[in-house]
Structure 1
Amino acid sequence: MLLATAVAVFPPLLSADCDSRVFLDANRNGVYDAGERGVSGVGVSDGTHIVLSGRDGRYRLPASPGKTLFVIKPSGYALPMRSDGLPDFFANQAGTAAGLKYGGVLRSDTACKSFALQPLAQKPEGPVSVLVFGDPQPKSAVDLDYYARDIIAPLRADPAATLGITLGDVVHDDLTLLAGVKQADRQLGIPRLYAAGNHDIDFDAGDDAGSLESFRAQFGPDTFAWEERHANFIVLDDVIYQPGSKPAYIGGLRDSQFHFLARYLAGADKDKLLVISAHIPFFQTKSDAETFRTADRRRLFKLLEPFRDVLLLTAHSHAQNLVRHGPDSDWHGPGRLFEYNAGATCGGYWAGVKDEDGIPDATMSDGTPNGYARLHISPRDYRLQWFNARNRPNAAMALHAPQVLRRGAYPGVGLYANVFMARPDARVEVRIDDGLWQPMQRVNRADPRVVAQNLRDDAAPALSAYDRAPEATASSHLWRFALPTDLAAGEHRIRVRAIDEWLGEVSQDAVYRLETVNP
């Protein structure tokens, strides 16, 4: 729970302000009943201020339009689930933007709210397992069906998952689909936390402050904290809407969010993993333009310096990137600051040729299949895994190799290994036939498999899919090896293995053939 240093002090409350309680929901009905005892020391916030519940569970917090009240769920407790499948941890206050196309928050759910905490039925054991989704991003009901069948259906009643996080771009501009994504996610039966993305904005809002009214109506707060036994989680809206400008948004944080972060982090356990989830990457994704405001990143990273271990989860790129932050990206803390820029559940925007189940290939521009990640958190460490949608193919890497080369030709043709979740320090090696293991070289270039698909799409006389595969971009997890041509004529076996702390050891096989050809 939060320490007393996180308490915000306010003047005496007016009758319209919130005076309610955090209580132990002994009969598990989700509402306060006479005789149920309060829970002290639990944080309640409006996204800027934080107050702690007193010995009787009571808390007091000013209520104001445009704010969402929420409880910071403490470790060791569960929350009741709302009828829409979300954990019951928030109450929206009235919206501030009127006449929005998608409605926004039209009224208060309630002037204030009593928050129910339910005791866990039994003490949990093992690591915390978190499902991490980047960019579901359906642009139509058809895409929503792909998401439900490709991602959600195989994960129903997953016994290992304890929490889910969606890293923004819940939909692609059509905010009527927000409820559909939420309904699909409800089938997983676990609490889910949602960050907002640049495609989840009310683009007819007049300013940034009113740009997430429709998102709040569906998912509640855009900035909040949540605590589990091995980690504390913060979810941030890091999309700054700039109506009338080009681009219409930039990555960054508001002053109110920094106020919340300063209060929360002051009382948070510095030796516990801190997981911060947002949409726009905190690293700069372009060399010629600022994609996340540098001053905001520096201010955020300064607040994070006291923590032993911080994991940033972001999305937006529709590609996978693993970044170890250091002085070159404004990190000067003694602990570890790692950013996982997650691949998208929609992959390459639900594009590409459909398979036998009618679902598009959806490979991302860096060659990663669409899918989701799983974050495993133990008391002193964590690891990340990538899972291809429906486990098809059930592989941790993809190889690209020529089918045939001329025996004795200059060895300038490469074998490529795209290791989807390889860390930058992964060891990737290749063995030809029964020879020695040899290192492959990490390269920053496009996956030839995606380039080949782009060329096939260009050459096709007719459309092969509703949307073609995205144009290939450089992959940060691609390795190359020049295939030898001085071996005997005939077929040769290729085995590639990748080894790192998260992957363990994974391997993939291929073949190529050498032919003797006369001039």
Structure 2
Amino acid sequence: MLFASLAAQAQSANLCHDASVFEDRNGNGLRERGERGIPGVTVSDGVRIATTDRVGRYSLPPVSGRTLFVVKPAGYRPHRREDGLPDTWINWQDTPGPALRYGGVPAAPMQCKSFALQREPRRAKPLDVLVFGDPQPKSLTDVGYYQRDIVQPLVAQGGGRAQADLGISLGDIVNDDLSLFTAIKKVDAALGVSWLHAPGNHDIDFDAPRDEESLASFRHAFGAETYAWEEPEANFIVFDDVIYMPGKKPSYVGGLRESQFAFLEAYLPTVPKGRLLVLSAHIHFYDAEPGIETFRRADRERLFRMLSAFPNVLLLTAHSHAQRHAYYGKADGWLGEGLLHEFNMGAACGGYWSGIADASGIPSATMSDGTPNGYSRLSVDRGGKYSLRWFPARESPNRQIGLHAPKVLRQGSWPGYAVYANVYMGDERSVVEYRIGDGEWKPMRRVEQADPAVLVQNLADDAAMRLRGYDRAPEASPSPHLWRGALPTDLPLGTHRIEVRTQIEGYGLATAATEYRLDPAP
């Protein structure tokens, strides 16, 4: 038995002896005469890492149940697979896993892979990254909404492909029906951009017996669930932060496995401190409800301690189907300089592809906090400086503020009625001002309450005697980016213009306007 075990280990080690990372000069994905290996490139199986030698070779004995991937180095782009995904990984599974409804990873003889990379010219502009939260289609109908509402406009604007350097989806790629992975990949391929995927709690195999096997079907479709990607301006770590707990309620919690910490401990020392370090995951790090762990506190503090050595760190998450900025300090385990910034971004599907459909048949999909569905762009300069911007789907990119105000008030009535401004990218540091007509600008007061515009839709859904859409709008939730300004009633009779303004980082001066009317008492 001992000799058989040693022989198997030797055979496993030899599988990767001649594998390499090479410069693919003609872009065909095959290593040919004259195409040299690339030294110093990181290759990993999500736990261990190896570095290519001076001729581009690496050695990493296969372990069944893991995914081998190359950490795409800065200055190169990978070959693309037929399904549009970057060809940077291969699954290892030499014995059948548990029988799963959506198939998991098929068993096959394990082999190592040579990775083809092409040189990229130096960028003259900042790195431009498209970021999607929760596409989350529950049917092919929803995949069609995602295609027409998010993807097609980006392709059209770019003249046949999205004008971006990279794309990331922050989990819930689908909504429990993992057979939709194929359809969503086909839609994303039209963007023509290297696309990275983090898994979400709706992307798992719910019939898996253990957390370790719960992403088998995801891995078969998208590759590793925890991996890294490097650009000259930023290093990206994309990871699964959903701990599946079969048989329990709730059936998952945010957190990290020991294998993921092992990968981070091995990889982080290789990350240049002068770049932005971006961690992309699905579940946000803050607690949705006080006293209930959304993300395991011990895991969060351990992760934050590991990141504290880096001067420029950004956390990108989704999951909430709302939008907020969170900032962490010493009390949260962040020991680095300043505050650690998390952008918990809204969903591509918004309020789960719900609400009233427009003339194109696409639901309004407004989120519970009043943010319209859409996507973000992350812009990164060399040196770690970055900015974020929100783009409402199929609307003017200048729509950065949503307003709600009464249409008519009685002249001379008690001035207890207000205009509400929902600044989608706002936070507690934002300064929001308003004025009536040509009057002076006055500060608005930040309030954490439901956006009245969402409440209007909730009440209309309640009062309707038949369904107004396939699914009604989500129930309004307190918005962390809502401001209130009282409306004066001592002005002359007639219509009065309301203007709101604020500065939004990454956008500049954002404005919005509406009006109300003062009438005499009947």
Please indicate, yes or no, whether the TM-score normalized by the shorter chain is above 0.5: yes
Structure 1 counterpart of 2:506, one-letter code: W
Answer with 111-120 or 198-207: which moved more: 111-120
Other-structure match for 2:257: 254
Q: Deviations over 1:240-288 (max 9, x none)?
A: 0000011000000000100111111112112210000000001111114
Is 1:338 the counterpart of 2:341? The answer is yes
Other-structure match for 2:98: 98
Other-structure match for 1:8: none
Structure 1 counterpart of 2:153, one-letter code: P
Other-structure match for 1:276: 279
Which of residues 439, 443, 455 is equivalent to 1:439? 443
Is 1:311 the counterpart of 2:314? The answer is yes
Answer with 251-260 or 405-414: which moved more: 405-414
Q: Deviations over 1:320-367 (max 9, x none)?
A: 011122134322211542101010000000011110001011000000
Structure 2 counterpart of 1:72, one-letter code: V
Write out aligned runs for 1:389-428 (5 A). 389-391=393-395, 395-428=399-432
SS in 2 for 1:302: helix
Deviation at 1:422, TM superposition (A): 2.0
- Calculate percent identity across the aligned residue pairs: 55
Structure 2 counterpart of 1:60, one-letter code: S
Which of residues 430, 437, 455 is equivalent to 2:459? 455
Closer/same/farther in 2, CA of residues 430 and 480 from structure 1, 3 Å limit: same
Deviation at 1:500, TM superposition (A): 3.3
- TM-score of the aligned structures, taking structure 2 as reference length: 0.95
CA distance in 2, matches of 1:383, 1:409: 44
Deviation at 1:112, TM superposition (A): 0.6
Q: How many residues align?
A: 507
Deviation at 1:391, TM superposition (A): 1.8
Deviation at 1:200, TM superposition (A): 0.2
CA distance in 2, matches of 1:483, 1:331: 42
Other-structure match for 2:68: 69
Structure 1 counterpart of 2:151, one-letter code: I
Is 1:363 the counterpart of 2:366? The answer is yes
Deviation at 1:486, TM superposition (A): 1.6
Report if aligned partners of 2:96, 2:107 keep a CA contact under 8 Å in 1.
no
Report if aligned partners of 1:47, 1:67 keep a CA contact under 8 Å in 2.
yes
Closer/same/farther in 2, CA of residues 406 and 279 from structure 1, 3 Å limit: same
Other-structure match for 2:482: 478
CA distance in 1, matches of 2:507, 2:450: 22
SS in 1 for 2:394: helix
CA distance in 1, matches of 2:11, 2:265: 28
Other-structure match for 1:492: 496
Closer/same/farther in 2, CA of residues 109 and 172 from structure 1, 3 Å limit: farther
Structure 2 counterpart of 1:337, one-letter code: L
SS in 2 for 1:271: coil
- TM-score of the aligned structures, taking structure 1 as reference length: 0.95
Gaps of 5+ in 2: 1-7
Report if aligned partners of 2:232, 2:275 keep a CA contact under 8 Å in 1.
no
Structure 1 counterpart of 2:461, one-letter code: D
Other-structure match for 1:429: 433
What CA RMSD, in Å, does the superposition of the two structures yield over aligned residues? 1.6
Other-structure match for 1:133: 132
Report if aligned partners of 2:398, 2:510 keep a CA contact under 8 Å in 1.
no
Closer/same/farther in 2, CA of residues 96 and 266 from structure 1, 3 Å limit: farther
Gaps of 5+ in 1: 1-11
Structure 1 counterpart of 2:417, one-letter code: V
CA distance in 2, matches of 1:182, 1:60: 31
Other-structure match for 2:234: 231
